[in-house]
């Protein structure tokens, strides 16, 4: 703020000096010339202040937008932590008590997810990191799934050095596992992510055994829509449908 104001004051002074010098530069020493120089000083000062205020307003708007985006990402992280991490810890504890051979592997997956969720401070991360997070999430969720639920996750294309907003896809998976699992009926969750040179496409479908009307689910999906609009304005298409108890998410992002 002080640096910005210093630059504005310096610009004012420089402008005044130039305007005051004009009559002498052009051999004009009359009162009219000096009056004109004074008028130019006033006009220049007004223009400088208008430009400065507009720049500050634009800069403040960008900061507010960035702060809002970070707050929404923090909210998504907080939604993920309680009902997933603690339940997963209980599942891993059961594996440890029974001496399961894959206990250490699942602890590592949980550690990777926690690190990814808590250390992400950027608007965008490598797509490969998001895919790894989805893989870990699915593997950890399968610890509690009944044998009647099958999960199919596939990736096509080359993620390469493509970037995506962190934790952008996870709310859709979380929604599928929360409302698409039944202990009584055979069901499947299908997830597919594909990449091309300039597009990322995500697909998720599941049968709907309970309606996603709880507040946390609604908030997470709403914030995901808002993040898409903020980070990918006019560069994404999100279609969510619920027909015959089949819940489908289709997301396409132009990168």
Give tens-digit pLDDT for 69-105. 565 555 555 555 566 777 788 888 788 888 888 888 8
Does the CA dihedral 218-206-148-109 come out positive or negative? negative
**Orientation angle between helical segments 2-25 and 31-80, nearest 10 degrees:** 160
Burial (Cβ within 10 Å: 0-12, 13-18, ≥19) of residue 157:
middle
Q: What is the rounded distance in angstroms from the CA atom of residue 165 to the CA atom of residue 101?
A: 35
**pLDDT, average across residues 221-238:** 88
pTM greater than the 0.75 cutoff: no
3-state secondary structure of 105: helix
| DSSP 8-state symbol, 168 | S
- Residue 41 above 60 pLDDT? no
Q: What is the rounded distance in angstroms from the CA atom of residue 108 to the CA atom of residue 149?
A: 24
Q: 166: which residues sit within 8 A by CB, 6+ positions away? A: 73, 116, 120, 122, 124, 125, 129, 130
The pair phi, psi for residue 79, each rounded to 5°, is -70, -35
Q: In terms of DSSP H, where are the helices of the chain?
A: 2-25, 31-80, 86-97, 103-119, 127-141, 170-179, 215-231
**pLDDT, average across residues 129-152:** 90
Under a CB-based contact definition with an 8 Å cutoff, are residues 164 and 199 in contact? no
- Residue 47 above 80 pLDDT? no
CA atoms within 13 A on the CB side of 10: 6
| Res 115: pLDDT | 83
Give tens-digit pLDDT for 168-180. 999 899 889 888 8
Paired tokens of 103 = 């206990």
| Res 81: pLDDT | 52
């Amino acid at each position: 703020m002080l640096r910005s104001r210093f630059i504005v004051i310096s610009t004012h002074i420089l402008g005044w000096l130039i305007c005051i010098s004009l009559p002498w530069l052009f051999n004009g020493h009359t009162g009219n010339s000096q009056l004109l120089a004074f008028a130019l000083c006033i006009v220049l000062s007004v223009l400088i202040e208008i430009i400065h205020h507009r720049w500050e307003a634009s800069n403040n708007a960008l900061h507010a937008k960035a702060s809002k985006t970070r707050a929404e990402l923090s909210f998504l992280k907080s939604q993920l932590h309680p009902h997933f991490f603690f339940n997963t810890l209980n599942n891993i504890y059961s594996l440890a008590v029974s001496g399961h051979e894959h206990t250490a592997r699942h602890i590592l997956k949980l550690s990777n997810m926690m690190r990814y969720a808590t250390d992400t401070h950027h608007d965008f991360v490598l797509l490969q990191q998001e895919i790894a997070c989805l893989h870990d999430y699915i593997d950890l969720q399968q610890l509690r799934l009944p044998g009647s639920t099958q999960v199919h996750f596939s990736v096509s294309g080359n993620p390469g050095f493509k970037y995506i907003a962190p934790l952008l896809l996870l709310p859709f998976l979380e929604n599928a596992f929360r409302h698409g699992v039944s202990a009584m009926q055979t069901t499947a969750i299908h997830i597919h992510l594909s990449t091309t040179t300039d597009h990322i496409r995500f697909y998720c479908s599941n049968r709907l055994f309970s309606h996603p009307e709880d507040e946390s689910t609604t908030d997470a999906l709403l914030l995901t829509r808002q993040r898409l609009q903020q980070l990918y304005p006019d560069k994404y298409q999100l279609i969510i449908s619920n027909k015959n108890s089949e819940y489908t998410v289709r997301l396409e992002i132009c990168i």
